[in-house]
Chain A
Amino acid sequence: MRVAIAEDSILLREGLARLLGDAGLDVVAQCGDGDDLLLKVRSYRPDVAIVDIRLPPTHNDEGLRAALEIRDRHPSVGVLILSQYVELGLALKLLAESAEGVGYLLKDRIIDVDEFVGAVRRVANGGSALDPIIVSTLLSRQRPGDPLARLTPREREVLELMAGGSSNQGIADALVITLRAVEKYVSSIFAKLGVPSTGGESKRVHAVLTFLRS
């Protein structure tokens, strides 16, 4: 599995590369800014690019723009955005069309190495990884006649993991239940929310997000 990293702090970039290398991933490119990243993504065709949202020269939105450009030009390359702040508005911008091969995590999440490497692999494989803060923000949003109130606490847990991008197996592992039980919960949730369960795991993050946002 091939990885490109764009991060302007050398300390962090090196640490990240070593961490991913230790986990058995192949770090093919390390970049200090967005232009360099675009160039190397075109040359090396990694499976996933890990991008700091604040990159030189202005440290405003260069990282985000580079990420959106990779999504646009190289749809097969997964993009995982790392940020000091996670913002719903940015998540919506990133996942506007689809959640496939997109991740958006708080930088702190690197610390939990296993979780983080799992998220990188998921995004590289065309899945999603959405920070728990985004998910909880969406779930806490007030809605008139809140349909989420109809969910059982267990269903709510499953929904949170689902929205974060976890696969059924991932949910089963996290909640220590059987895969079969997860599937039952998922179809129950979709039925209660009135969301058509469209196809596989890769599409449902987008469906759930679209529902939660409205």
Chain B
Amino acid sequence: MAAVAEAPALRTASAAAPRAAVVSAVALAGCAAAALAVVLLLRANPPGAGPRAALVGWITLAYVICGAIAWVGRPDTRFGPLLVAAGIAPVLSTLSIVEAGIPYTIGEALRLLPLAVFLHLFLAYPSGRLGGGLERNVVAAAYAAAVGLQLVRMALGGFGPGNLVEIVERTAPGPALRGLQVVALSGLMLAGTGVLLHRRRGSGPPLRLTRELLVDCFAAALVMMAVALVFTALDGPATEPLRWVTFGLIGLAPVAFVFGLLGARLARTAVGELFVELHADPVSADLRDALARALGDPSLELAYWLPDFAMYVDSQGRPVETPTEGPRGLTVIHLEGEPVAALLHDSTLGEEPALLEAVTAAAAIALQNARLHAELRARLEELRGSRARVLEAGQAERKRLERNLHDGAQQRLIALSLELSVLGERLRTDPEARARLERAQAEIALSLRELRDVARGLHPAVVSAHGLEVALEQVTALAAVPVRLSVRVGERLPEQLEVAAFYLVAEALANIGKHAQATVAIVDVIRTGGRLSVEIVDDGVGAADTEAGTGLRGLADRVEALGGRLRIWSPRGGGTRVRAEIPCG
């Protein structure tokens, strides 16, 4: 039994929502920062100032606003604040345009910060937290290379008179340090790309569209950042257009993110539809489909918790494995503190706890219903299995006894009688002894007849050996009414099934002889598709007592143990129809 994680919905219920005032203040500050960056750029008016100002303004505004939305909408993740930070970083690096004093120093020191922040942001999507040690190391190294190395370079001078952190004027190691910085940062960007692509491939079907789009966008932006960095350092061709494309891609990311949020909103309207659907048909077999639609996860599986069996089962009562790790997520749904069911879903759904919570809340009652059904089926399945086993064991034993009688006692008695015959030939001269011998032989003949009856009662050997069609000839010929027999079964059926069908016909014909006052009976044994149907119809008085006829009750047990059904129609004055349908593979 797999250990089961608590539902994210429950875990996040206590997460504190940020104050609206704080978020608005942050948003306003972001807008102001964007405005500041635009004004600074336009005033300094370096080459290409207009487009550059527009891009920085757009990126800052887009990231800060999206960040604020995410902060409010997804208070459980740190992604919102991280988006805001990513929006502010370009403004800080723009400060270097002032070319004097503290702003210049800050601007130069944080010039490459946006690279590290974006890398951080992309890798932390969607929870806002970095996953494993590798991701953390990559991001930490990026910060060190972007800011730490930059400070070292500035301390060694060569950044002009506005540089307030210059300690000594030593320009010699400058180019080497710059090269190291470029190589390190571009390498880290590519490493980040690798992490993203690996994650995309590993998360299993189905990746939802918005997430796929975002991850692609992030990966492309990281590659472009690395390329742009190298080209700029080498004064390569087309540096400017490369940068535009890179910033453009970075600017696209929040758009995709907003689409993702919109998708979640749309999904939440699907919860409303789910409510209506479940209300219309609370025990629908399509519960899984309805939930899959509402959650937008076609791979969704439902598993019901059976406390008595301490396991999960599907809607048919069959055991279900629950994953503890891997690309599948598990959400346990509780009702009144007791687990009811579990959703096995795509792990990306874990990022939308609000949606999961809404859907599971809507479906809890219906799930409880469905769980009870599943439990019932599991018990029926168990019962059917044990009944079939008991029957099979009984039948095997009876068959063994029948064969022992046949191969043992009967053969010996016949051989013994033959021996007596030989003896009788020698006693021709003694009529009295001969007469006694003949009496003994008559006794043996009687014993043989009785033994045969016992053996036949134990197991219908002719059915096992020669099949249903051959065996039914005798039974129908001995019936009390004329019988029209039709057997169309093709190849031999499993022995259990043939024996059950044989007994059914024999018992039904015996009942007709005893009670029905019929003039004719029809026996129809036919195999169609994967089923054997056995039908016995008479034209008698009907009103057969199906309860008093314990023979028929026992036969119903036999038929049901084989997964079949026995039904009896017996209207007064309308004859009796006994019909069994048994699956035969």
Enumerate chain B residues within 8 angstroms of A142, measured Cβ to Cβ: 479-483
B410 touches A60 (CB 8 A): no
A9 touches B425 (CB 8 A): no
A110: Cβ under 8 A from any B Cβ? yes
Which of A11, A19, A87 makes the CB contact (< 8 A) with B470? A87
- A59, A108, A110, A143: most-surrounded residue (chain B CB, <10 A): A108
B473: Cβ under 8 A from any A Cβ? yes
Bitwise interface map of B from 444 to 459 toward A, beta carbon under 8 Å scored 1, else 0: 1100110010011000
CA gap between A138 and B473 in the complex, in Å: 10
A137 touches B477 (CB 8 A): yes
Count of chain A residues near B, Cβ 8 A: 34
B255: Cβ under 8 A from any A Cβ? no
A88 touches B474 (CB 8 A): yes
A22: Cβ under 8 A from any B Cβ? yes
Contact (A110, B418) CB under 8 Å given A60-B465, A84-B452, A144-B482: yes
A85 touches B461 (CB 8 A): yes
B462 touches A90 (CB 8 A): yes
Bitwise interface map of B from 372 to 415 toward A, beta carbon under 8 Å scored 1, else 0: 00000000000000000000000000000001001100111011
Enumerate chain A residues within 8 angstroms of B482, measured Cβ to Cβ: 141-144
Interface of B: prevailing SS: helix
Contact (A19, B466) CB under 8 Å given A85-B456, A137-B477, A142-B482: no
CA gap between A53 and B471 in the complex, in Å: 15
B414 touches A107 (CB 8 A): yes
B44: Cβ under 8 A from any A Cβ? no
B421 touches A87 (CB 8 A): no
A24: Cβ under 8 A from any B Cβ? no
B417: Cβ under 8 A from any A Cβ? yes
Count of chain B residues near A, Cβ 8 A: 42
- B455, B465, B478: most-surrounded residue (chain A CB, <10 A): B465
B135: Cβ under 8 A from any A Cβ? no
A206: Cβ under 8 A from any B Cβ? no
B4: Cβ under 8 A from any A Cβ? no
A118: Cβ under 8 A from any B Cβ? no
Enumerate chain A residues within 8 angstroms of B415, measured Cβ to Cβ: 9, 11-12, 15
Enumerate chain B residues within 8 angstroms of A12, measured Cβ to Cβ: 411, 414-415, 418
A15 touches B418 (CB 8 A): yes
B520: Cβ under 8 A from any A Cβ? yes
B444 touches A111 (CB 8 A): yes
A89: Cβ under 8 A from any B Cβ? yes
CA gap between A53 and B444 in the complex, in Å: 22
Contact (A108, B448) CB under 8 Å given A85-B456, A89-B470, A143-B482: yes
B472: Cβ under 8 A from any A Cβ? yes
Which of B403, B407, B425, B477 makes the CB contact (< 8 A) with A138? B477
B464: Cβ under 8 A from any A Cβ? yes
CA gap between A61 and B444 in the complex, in Å: 27
CA gap between A77 and B452 in the complex, in Å: 30
B477 touches A141 (CB 8 A): yes
Contact (A87, B473) CB under 8 Å given A9-B407, A113-B421, A142-B481: yes
Contact (A85, B452) CB under 8 Å given A64-B466, A90-B462, A111-B421: yes
A54: Cβ under 8 A from any B Cβ? yes
Enumerate chain B residues within 8 angstroms of A111, measured Cβ to Cβ: 414, 417-418, 421, 441, 444-445
A-B contact pairs, 26 of them (CB 8 A): A11-B412, A12-B418, A15-B419, A59-B465, A60-B464, A60-B465, A61-B466, A84-B410, A84-B461, A85-B452, A87-B462, A89-B469, A89-B472, A89-B473, A89-B474, A90-B466, A92-B473, A107-B410, A107-B414, A108-B449, A110-B417, A111-B445, A140-B477, A141-B477, A142-B481, A143-B482
Given A113-B421, A144-B482; 15 other pairs, CB 8 A cutoff:
A9-B407, A12-B414, A18-B418, A19-B418, A53-B465, A60-B464, A85-B456, A85-B461, A88-B474, A89-B466, A108-B414, A108-B448, A111-B441, A140-B477, A142-B482
7 tightest Cβ-Cβ pairs between the two chains A and B: A89-B470, A89-B473, A15-B418, A60-B465, A11-B415, A88-B474, A111-B417
- Residues of chain A whose beta carbon lies under 8 Å from any beta carbon of chain B: 9, 11-12, 15-16, 18-19, 22, 53-54, 59-61, 64, 84-85, 87-90, 92-93, 107-108, 110-111, 113, 137-138, 140-144
